[in-house]
Amino acid sequence: MQISGAVAVVTGAAAGLGQATAQMLSQRGARVAAVDLAAPPGTPSTTWLPLAANISSAADVDSAFDATVRSFGRVDIVVHCAGIAGGFRLIGKDGPVDPDRFRAVIDVNLLGTFHVLRAAAWQMSMNQRPNGGESGVIVTTASIAAYEGQQGQLAYAASKAGVIGMTLPAARELAKYGIRCATIAPGAFETTLTTDLPDALQQQLTSSVAYPPRLGKPAEFAELACAIITNEMLNGEVIRLDAGARLSKR
C-alpha cells in the first residue's frame, strides 16, 4: 500500500503513539482522519480531518468512518492506537475488585478494537482493486503485557491478548477483499501512560530492556506502522517493538 495519496484513519491521535503516527502519515502524503475522545488539534482541510469519537461505542466509531468517507471518499489505511491502562489488583483490603473496573478496560481496549476492525473492514471492502491489488491495511495495537502481564495488569493484559488473538482470524477472513491486518505489541514508550510515572517506576520499566536501554519514542512506533503499511507481505502478524524487553512479575 502506497502511503502518498491514501486515506488513513488513526485513533488515539491526540497524543502519544497515535499522534506520532497521524503526523507521519500526513507528512508522507496521506489524507488523515485523526480520531480521539476529543477531536485532535488542527483545522479541517482537504488533507486533515480531526474527529471526536468514543472508541468503546460502535455508533461513534461508525460515525467517524462515515465522516471520513464523506470527506475523503474512501478508507485505505487504519492505525488503531486508542486505549487505556486501568491497573488494579484482584483483591484488596476491602474485598474483591469491582468488576466494572475490568469491564471498563475491556470495553475500550478489546471491544474498541473490534469496533474499529468491523468499521474499517466494511469501508475497505468497497474499495476498487485495480489488477486485484490490496484494498486496505489495518494495524492494531497490543502490548508486550499480553505475553508477560505484570501484577496489577490483569485487565490490561487480557484486553491486549484479545487484540493479538483477533489478528490472524481477521487477516484470514479479510484476505478475499485484499485487506491486510497486523498488530504491533509495543513495550514501554514515551507516552503519558509512562512519562507521568515517578522516575523510579520509569527506570523499572526499562530495567529489563536489552538495547537500547530507554523508553521507546512514538516516532519509532509510527515508523513500524508505516513499514507494515508499505510491505505487502506483512499480514496476520504480531510484531513486538520492545528493544528485547521481557517484563518482570511486578
Domains of the chain: 7-241 (3.40.50.720)
Q: List pLDDT tens digits, range 182-210.
A: 999 999 999 877 766 667 666 777 778 88
Q: For the chain, what is the largest distance between any 2 Cα atoms, rounded to a whole number of angstroms?
A: 63
Q: At what angle do helices 16-27 and 218-230 cross, to 10 degrees?
A: 50
Closest CA to 138 of 149, 154, 151, 127: 127
For residue 250, the model assigns a pLDDT of: 75
For CA atoms 97, 101, 105, 111, give the dihedral sign: positive
| Contacting residues for 174 by C-beta, under 8 A, at least 6 apart | 121, 124, 125, 138, 180, 181
For CA atoms 119, 159, 196, 187, give the dihedral sign: negative
Query: In the chain, pLDDT over 70 holds for what percent of residues?
Result: 97
| Contacting residues for 74 by C-beta, under 8 A, at least 6 apart | 7, 123, 126, 127
For residue 201, the model assigns a pLDDT of: 66
pLDDT, average across residues 103-125: 98
Q: Which of 147, 156, 177, 211 is an active site residue?
A: 156
Kindly indicate the confidence band of residue 245, based on its pLDDT and cuts at 50, 70 and 90: confident
User: Which amino acid belongs to residue 11?
Assistant: T
Q: List pLDDT tens digits, range 50-104.
A: 999 999 999 999 999 999 999 999 999 999 999 998 888 899 888 999 999 999 9
| Contacting residues for 176 by C-beta, under 8 A, at least 6 apart | none
Residue 177 annotated as catalytic: no
The CA distance from 59 to 51, in Å, is: 14
Instruction: Enter the pTM of the model.
Output: 0.95
For CA atoms 120, 35, 111, 219, give the dihedral sign: positive
For residue 36, the model assigns a pLDDT of: 98
Nearest 5°: the CA angle 15, 37, 193 is: 40
The CA distance from 28 to 164, in Å, is: 28
For residue 208, the model assigns a pLDDT of: 80
pLDDT greater than 90 at residue 152: no
For CA atoms 166, 167, 170, 173, give the dihedral sign: negative
